[in-house]
Structure 1
Amino acid sequence: MELEEQAIITEEYKDITNNDMHIIEAVGLGGNKMSDIAAKLNITVGSLTTSMNSLVKKGYATRERSEQDRRVVFIHLTLKGRKAYHHHAEFHRKMTDAVLDVLDENEALVLAKALDRLTLFFRQYKS
């Protein structure tokens, strides 16, 4: 996480944290409901609210209340937020390419299977 932060928190994005970048990623380019973002990040809506206050204040995101149900809040990325999203996605693409470029097809399949198992472990893990 520390190395990732050094790579993605560049001069342009020095006003946000690595955690903020992951929230931006969870919001996505199409926007999302606060409850869906919190669930995706496995945090409470209250914790997300604190982070979203900061991202809105810094101009990375906007809030929009649902017309049908005023309790529902949608989050959308601003242009600045979408640029940060793409910056973070590009880092992950380069990281993935760096690994896959040195693997043959069989090794890539083994890696994919191992990562699937690791993902399953983390989803099922209860501390």
Structure 2
Amino acid sequence: MDEIRNTINTMLVNTFHEILELEEKAIITDKFRDISNNDMHIIEAIGEDSGARMTDIARKLNITVGSLTTSMNSLVNKGYVSRKRSENDRRVVNIYLRDKGLEAYEHHKQFHKEMTDALVNCLTPEELGVWMKSLDTLTEFFQSHREKTNENSVSAR
């Protein structure tokens, strides 16, 4: 059983690193060379939900609003996004993708479509069901682990 665990661990770690490396090479092209992979994920989190609130974007990315603000300043300066205060509640800042941001978003979305199509197109419906169940279990583990980590960091204060 240890051999199986080691093999699964190696596959997960390698897949994680491959996705990060390939994604960076695939989506940060000459056209988008002025942003980082992190910036692209912020653009993805804003997505088609233009007018998203900073707190909602930070929550999607599991980062603080303070960390997001630093990156958002850069994206505003580079012309990918714009900020606008809500007219109803001046404390609320809404984020909008500009044309350049929409173009980056579509480019990133296309990469993910190609990646998922490559997998979906080679699996039978039964295999796909098992694969999805496995990923769901892994996602639940990550969420549970994140909650425990958050509880530990709060109690350590």
Structure with more contact order per residue of length (Cα contacts < 8 Å, sep ≥ 6): 1
- Counterparts of 1:1-127 in structure 2 under 5 Å? 1-31=20-50, 32-125=52-145, 126-127=148-149
**Please, which runs of 5 or more residues in structure 1 have no aligned partner?**
none
1:102 deviates by 1.1
Distance 1:98 1:40 in 2: 26
Q: Indicate if the aligned counterparts of 1:65 and 1:71 stay in contact, CA closer than 8 A.
A: yes
Q: CA deviation at 1:108?
A: 0.6
For 1:28, the aligned partner's letter is G
Residue 64 of structure 1 aligns to a residue whose secondary structure is strand
5+ residue gaps in structure 2?
A: 1-19, 150-157
Q: In 2, distance between residues paired with 1:119 and 1:90?
A: 23
Distance in structure 2 (CA, Å) of the matches to 1:82 and 1:123: 30
Q: Supply the distance in 1 between the matched residues of 2:134 and 2:65 (Cα, whole angstroms).
A: 32
* TM-score normalised over the length of structure 1: 0.96
CA distance in 2, matches of 1:80, 1:28: 12
For residue 119 of structure 1, report the CA deviation from its aligned partner: 1.3
Distance in 1 of aligned mates of 2:66 and 2:92: 14
More helix by share: 2
**Cα distance in 2 between the residues matched to 1:23 and 1:82:** 12
RMSD between superposed Cα atoms in Å: 0.9
Fraction of identical pairs, as percent = 61
CA drift at 1:4: 1.1
CA distance in 2, matches of 1:118, 1:23: 23
* Structure 1 CA distance for aligned equivalents of residues 42 and 143 of structure 2: 19
